[in-house]
Amino acid sequence: MRRGTQDWRRPTIEIRLLGPFHVVVDGSPLSLSSARQRALLTTLALSCGRLVSIDALARGVWGDEPPERIRGSLQTNVMRLRRLFGEQVVVTEPDGYRLLLDPARVDALRFLSLLDRAVDEKAQAERVSLAEAIGLWGGTPLEGVGSPTLAGEWGPLLTERYLFAVERRIDLDTGTVPDAELVAELTDLVAQHPLRESLWERLVRILARSGRRAEALARYARLRSLLAEELGVEPGGELRRLHAELLATDRPAVPAFPVPRQLPFDVTGFSGRESELAELERFLAQGQTGTTRIVVIEGTAGVGKTSLAVHWSHRLRENFPDGQLFVDLRGHSAGTPVTPMDALSGFLQAVGVLADALPSTVEQRSAALRSRLAGTRMLLLLDNARDADQIRPLLPGSGNLVVVTSRNQLRGLVAREGARRMPLRSLDDHAARALLAESVGRARLDAEPGAVAELTQLCGGLPLALALAGERASRFSGTSLAWIVDELRDQRVRLDTLRDPQDAGTDLRAAFSWSYKALRPEAARLFRLLGLFPGVPIRVSTAAVTAGVDVLAARELIDQLASAHLLSQPSTDRYRFHDLLRVYAAELAEGDVPSEREAALRRLIDWYTAGVAAANELIRPDLLTSDVVLEPADGPPHDFADHDEATAWYVEERPALAALVRVAADHDWASRAWKLAWLLRAFYTERHDQEDWIGTAEIAVEATRAAVDPLGLQYAANNLGSAYLRALRTDEGLEALEEARKASVETGGSEVSVAILSNLSGAYYLRSEFEKSEQVAAEAARLASDTGQRTFVPHALLNISASRIGIGAYDGAVEAALEARQAFAELGDRYHAALALSNAGEALAGASRYEEAESHCSRALAELRELGAEYGTIDVLINLTRLMLATGWSEEAEAYGAEALAVCQRLGDPRADEVRTMLSVPPPG
Of 385-394, 439-448, 867-876, give the range with the top mean pLDDT. Answer: 385-394
Determine phi and psi for 689, rounding to 5 degrees: -90, 75
Percentage of the chain lying above the pLDDT 70 cut: 95
Residue 125 confidence class, pLDDT cut points 50, 70, 90:
confident
Which of 839, 834, 840 is CA-nearest to residue 867? 834
CA distance 409 to 363: 25
Distance CA 283, CA 418 (A): 12
Give the whole-angstrom CA distance, residue 720 versus residue 701.
8
Distances (CA, A) of 246 to 225, 275, 297, 920: 18, 32, 33, 76
- Per-residue pLDDT band for 250 (boundaries 50, 70, 90) equals very low
Reported confidence tier of residue 922, pLDDT bands at 50, 70, 90: low
In the prediction, which pLDDT does 85 show?
A: 84
Long-range Cβ contact pairs of 248-254 (< 8 A, separation 24 or more): 248/213, 252/322, 252/375, 252/376, 252/377, 252/399, 253/375, 253/376
Average pLDDT value for residue range 748-757: 91
pLDDT at site 652: 93
pLDDT of residue 331: 87
> 795: part of which helix (H) or strand (E)?
helix 793-807
Region 492-509: mean pLDDT is 76
Q: What is the pLDDT of residue 649?
A: 95
Instruction: Find the angle CA(61)-CA(66)-CA(67) to the nearest 5 degrees.
Output: 115
Residue 384 burial (10 A CB sphere; 0-12, 13-18, 19+): buried
Q: What pLDDT digit, counting tens, does each position of 104-124 carry?
A: 999 999 998 888 887 666 656
Lowest mean pLDDT of 123-137, 693-707, 793-807, 833-847, name the range. 123-137
The predicted structure's pLDDT at residue 495:
83
Residues 199/163, Cβ–Cβ less than 8 Å: yes
Question: For residue 2, what pLDDT band results from cuts at 50, 70 and 90?
Answer: very low
Nearest CA to 659 out of 626, 692, 610 is that of 692
3-state secondary structure of 255: coil
pLDDT tens-digit map of 297-352: 999 988 889 999 999 999 888 888 889 999 999 888 777 899 999 999 999 999 88
Task: Calculate mean pLDDT across residues 421-430.
Answer: 89
**DSSP characters for 646-686?**
HHHHHHHHHHHHHHHHHHHHHTT-HHHHHHHHHHHHHHHHH
pLDDT of residue 7: 41
Residue 5 has what pLDDT?
Answer: 34
Condensed to tens digits (0 to 9), the pLDDT of residues 198-217 reads 899 889 888 888 778 888 88
The Cα 464–Cα 469 span in angstroms is 9
Mapping DSSP onto H, E and C, the string for 796-851 reads: HHHHHHHHHHHHCCHHHHHHHHHHHHHHHHHHCCHHHHHHHHHHHHHHHHHCCCHH
Give the whole-angstrom CA distance, residue 791 versus residue 550. 41
Task: Report the mean per-residue pLDDT for the chain.
Answer: 88
pTM for the structure as a whole:
0.64
Judged against a pLDDT cut of 70, whether residue 290 lies above it is answered with no
Report whether 373 contacts 351 (CB < 8 A): yes
SS3 of 473-528: HHHCCCCCHHHHHHHHHCCCCHHHHCCCCCCHHHCHHHHHHHHHHCCCHHHHHHHH
pLDDT tens, position by position, 140-186: 899 988 889 998 889 888 998 999 888 888 888 877 778 888 888 89
pLDDT score for 440:
85
CA-to-CA dists, residue 786 to 155, 664, 747, 782, angstroms: 62, 35, 17, 6
Separation CA 602–CA 393 (nearest Å): 49
Q: What CA–CA distance (Å, rounded) separates 586 from 638?
A: 27
The string of DSSP codes covering 755-780 is HHHHHHHHHHHHTT-HHHHHHHHHHH
What pLDDT shows up at residue 923? 59
Res. 770: pLDDT tops 90: yes
Q: Which pLDDT score is estimated for 3?
A: 32
**pLDDT tens string 458-478:** 888 888 888 888 888 888 877
253 pLDDT exceeds 50?
no
pLDDT of residue 251: 41
